[in-house]
Amino acid sequence: MSNEIKLILPLAISSSDSILNQIEPVLKPLKSVIHVKVDEQLLQLHLILQDNSNVNEVLQILSKMGVDVEVTQRNFPILEMSCASCAGSVEDILRVTPGVLEVQVNYASQKGLVKYLPDVVQPEQLKKAVQDGGYDLFIEDTDDRLDELKENRLLSSRNELIGAWLLAFPLFMIGMFFMNIPYANLIMWVLATPLVFYFGRQFYIGAWKQLKHRTSNMDTLVALSTGIAYVFSVFNMIFPEFWEMRGLHGHVYFEASGVIIAFILLGRYLEEHAKNRAASSIKKLIGLQPKTVHSILPSGEVIEMQIVNVSVGDILLAKPGEKIAVDGTVTQGSSYIDESMISGEAHPVKKEVGNTVYAGTINQKGSFQYQAQKVGAETVLARIIRMVELAQGSKAPVQKLVDKIASIFVPSVILIALVAFGIWVIFGGEHGLSHGFMAFVTVLVIACPCALGLATPTALMVGIGKGAENGILIKDAESLEIAHQLNVVVLDKTGTITEGHPSVQDIFWNDQEDLSFNQSILYSIEQSSEHPLAQAIVNFFKSNQNFISDIEIENITGQGIRGKYKAQNFYIGNDRLMASHGVLVSDKVQSWLMQQYQYSHTIVYFFDEQHLIAVISIADKIKGSSQQAIATLHDMDIQVAMLTGDQQQTAESVAQQVNIDVVKSQVLPEEKYDFVKNLQSQGKIVAMVGDGVNDSSALAQADISIAMGHGSDVAMEVAKVTIISSDLQKIPIAIQLSRLTVKTIRQNLFWAFIYNVIGIPIAAGVFYPINGFMLDPMWAGAAMALSSVSVVINSLRLKAKAIH
C-alpha cells in the first residue's frame, strides 16, 4: 500500500530486559501493524504500519510497557503561507510525513508546532516535504536570519505595492472615467499586463503549486478571477466582432484584473504589518536578552564577552542600568532590580548577597557581582519565551471548527461562482453573459478565507502576549479560551494565600528531659524534608544544633515524617499522625494550643511511640494581596474554596480573614484531586491554584491549572498557567484577560462569517433584479483586502485595553 510507513525505533527500556520479549506479542494483534520485529542486540524496533496516523497508538502502548521512544517538539516558522487554507495544506503535508506524530500550523503566527520522532525524521526532511508542497519551513536555530528574511520580504512587498499602484491608479481612472479616449483599451492592456503577470505573479505561482497537489487556497481564487478577467478582456479587445455579430458589446475588464491585484497586495502588506504587531510581545521578551556581558576573570580582570560564551559558575559584573545577562546568585554588593518585564510588578526589588537575579531584568543604581547558575535555554526568561511561543502557536478548540470550514471554503466558493455564472447565462436575458462573467469574477474576488483564519489566532496571540507582559504565562490557547467560563477557584493555602515563608513562633516542650538530644533529633529529621514547615523548624535551630546523620527517614504522605534512630521511632507531623499512634495531649498542652489557634498559627507535633515531646507553633503570614484578590473573584461571581493539609482551626481562621466560601482542612493530595473532580461532576468549571508537588494531581485534574511562580518545578510543569510573581491578584486579571480575548474572538468570527455570508450573494448579483446593482470586481477586491486587515486590527485593540 502507498500509505504504508516503515519505522526503525531505538528502544530505551526503563524496566527489565524481559519487556523486549513482550513487545512483538502485544503489537502483532493490532490491525494497524503490518509487521513488527525486535532486534534485541541493537535494541531496535522494526515496524511497518498502515499509515502515519497509527504511530501514536503504538507509542502509547510502548510507554505503558515501560519502553520509551524519544519524541521532540519544536515550533518551526512557516514561510510562503498566504491564507488560512495554506495553514491547513501545510498541516496535511506534515501530518502524512513518516515520523510526525502531531502538527498544528498557525496562520497568524506563521509557525507550525510539530511533534516528531527524531530517529525517524529530521528537520531537513520536514523542510523538503513542505517545500515540495509550495511552502517553506525555517529550520535554522538563529532568529536573526529569520528576522532578516522577514524584513527583506516586507521591504520587497512594499516596493511591489508601490509599483503596482503606480500602474493601478491610471488604469482605474481610465477604466472608470475615460473609457472613450482614443486607444483606451490598448492603454489599459499595457498597464494591466505587468500588473497581473509581474506584480501578481505570486498568486499564479501559488495557484499552480496548489493545483499540482490537487488542493486550493486564496491564490487559486485570485489567480482564477484576475486571470479569466484578463484573458476575456484580451479576447474582446482583439476580436470585438465576435460579440458584434451576436448583437452584443464585448466589454473589457482590464481595470478589474489589475486593480484587484493592487488591492490584494495592499491588504496583504497591511495584514503582515498588523500580524507583526500582534506578535510584538515575543519580540519584546527576546529584546530583554543582552548580547554581551562583563565577566570577572580569576585574576580580577573585567572583560566584555558574548553572552553565548557564559558558563555556569562564571562570576559576572552588573553595572548600573545594565540588563542582567543570565540567572544567577548575588555574591558581592547589592542593588535594586527592575523585574517588571518578567513578573509584571512595578516596584524594584532589593537584591543582596545570596539573592537570585534573573536574565532580562534591569539593574538600577548599584553595582554587584553574581555567579551564573542558569544560562542559555535554561534561564527563566528563555523558558518564558519558549512557553509564550508554544502557546501562541497552539490552537483553541473553536479554531478546529474554523479550520474545517476553511478547508472546504475555496472549492465551495468556486462552485458558487460557477452556479452564479450559469444562472445569469440562462436567466439573465440580453446581458446575461456579461453579467454572469462579472458575477463569476466578483464572487471569486470577494470571498475571503483569510479573515476566518485570522479571527481566532490573532486574538489569542495578543491575549497570550499581554498575559506575558503582566507576569501571567499561559501554556496553550485552550486554557485562555476556557478560563472565561470559570465559576470555582480552588486555592492551596501555604504559598498561595500565605507568603510561603513560615517561621517558628513558639515551642512548648512537654518533655524537658534530654532537651538537647531531642532538639538535635527534631532538627536532624526536619533537615531531610523539603516541606516549608520543616524548613521553618530547621531555620529556627540552624545556628546551635548538632546534626545527627545516621537517622532512617520515611515520609508519611499528607501527615508528616518518621525518623528512626537506634531502634527508636520519632514522629513529626499533624494531629492526624499523632492520633493514629494513640498519643494523648494533656490539659496544659491543650490550653497552650488554644492560644496559638487564635493567631491562625499552624501546629506541628513532635513525639515518639509513647508520649508527646514538643509542640511547635508556626506562623505563615497571609499575603497582602490575598484578601483583595478573593474579593475581586467574588465580584466576578466566582466561588472560592481553600484546601490545606493544615489543622481545621488554623484553616478556618485563615479562611475567615480572607473571606473564603468553602474550607477543607487536613486533606491529603488524593483528597484534593477528589475535591476537584467532585466539583466538576456538579457541572462546575474549576481552576486549581497551587505551588507544591502535593498539588500536582489536583492541578492535572482541574479544567484550568494555575501554578505560583515560586513553587515546585513539578507544579509548574503540570499547570496550564503560571503566575510568575506569585501574586494572587494576577488570577482575576488572567480571567479578565480570557474574557476580553474570547469576546474579541467572537467579534472577529462574527464579522468574518457575516462578511462572507453577505458579500458573496451581493457579488453574485442578488440585488440586480431589485435595484439594478452589480458590484464591481475592483470594489470586491478592496472589500476582501479590508476584511482581513479589520480582523487583525480588532485583535490589536486588546493591547490597549486595561486589565487590573
**Residues taking part in catalysis:** 492
For residue 77, give the nearest of 137, 134, 130 by alpha carbon: 137
Give the three cell numbers for residue 234.
484580451
How far apart CA 74 and CA 393 sit, in angstroms, is: 10
For residue 737, give the nearest of 523, 359, 484, 567 by alpha carbon: 484
Give the three cell numbers for residue 651.
484553616
**Ranges assigned E (strand) in 334-470:** 335-338, 349-351, 356-357, 362-363, 368-374
Element (H, E) at 311: none
Dihedrals φ, ψ of 209, to 5°?
-65, -40
Q: Would you list the DSSP string of 359-393?
A: TT-EE-S--EEEEEEE-GGGSHHHHHHHHHHHHHH
3-state secondary structure at position 241? helix
Give the three cell numbers for residue 423.
444562472
Q: Which amino acid is at 314?
A: D
Give Cβ neighbours of residue 63 (< 8 Å, ≥ 6 apart): 69
Sequence-distant contacts of 562-565: CB under 8 A, at least 24 apart? 563/521, 563/524, 563/525, 563/528, 565/521
For residue 295, give the DSSP letter.
Answer: E
How far apart CA 59 and CA 507 sit, in angstroms, is: 54
State the alpha helices, DSSP H only, in 303-370: 340-343
**Residue-wise burial string across 399-415, b where 16 or more C-beta atoms lie within 10 A, e elsewhere:** beebbebbbebbeebbe
3-state secondary structure at position 740? helix
- In order of 190, 393, 473, 791, 794, the CA distances from 389 in angstroms are 47, 6, 11, 21, 21
CA angle 521, 527, 531 (to 5 degrees): 120
Around 9, how many Cα atoms within 13 Å sit in the side-chain half-sphere? 27
Cβ–Cβ < 8 Å for 106, 392: yes
How far apart CA 645 and CA 668 sit, in angstroms, is: 6
Give the three cell numbers for residue 787.
476584511
For residue 649, give the nearest of 590, 607, 703 by alpha carbon: 590
Q: Which amino acid is at 357?
A: V
Dihedrals φ, ψ of 107, to 5°?
-65, -40
For residue 195, give the DSSP letter.
Answer: I
How far apart CA 780 and CA 444 sit, in angstroms, is: 9
- In order of 261, 465, 555, 720, 799, the CA distances from 388 in angstroms are 36, 7, 37, 12, 16
46 bridge partner residues: 8, 37
Q: Would you list the DSSP string of 748-773?
A: HHHHHHHHHHHHHHHHHTTTHHHH--
Burial of 142 (0-12, 13-18, 19+ CB in 10 A): exposed
Q: Which amino acid is at 751?
A: W
3-state secondary structure at position 136? strand
How far apart CA 687 and CA 705 sit, in angstroms, is: 6
For residue 712, give the nearest of 722, 700, 701 by alpha carbon: 722
Cβ–Cβ < 8 Å for 627, 659: yes
End-to-end Cα separation, the chain, in angstroms: 58
Cβ–Cβ < 8 Å for 267, 282: no
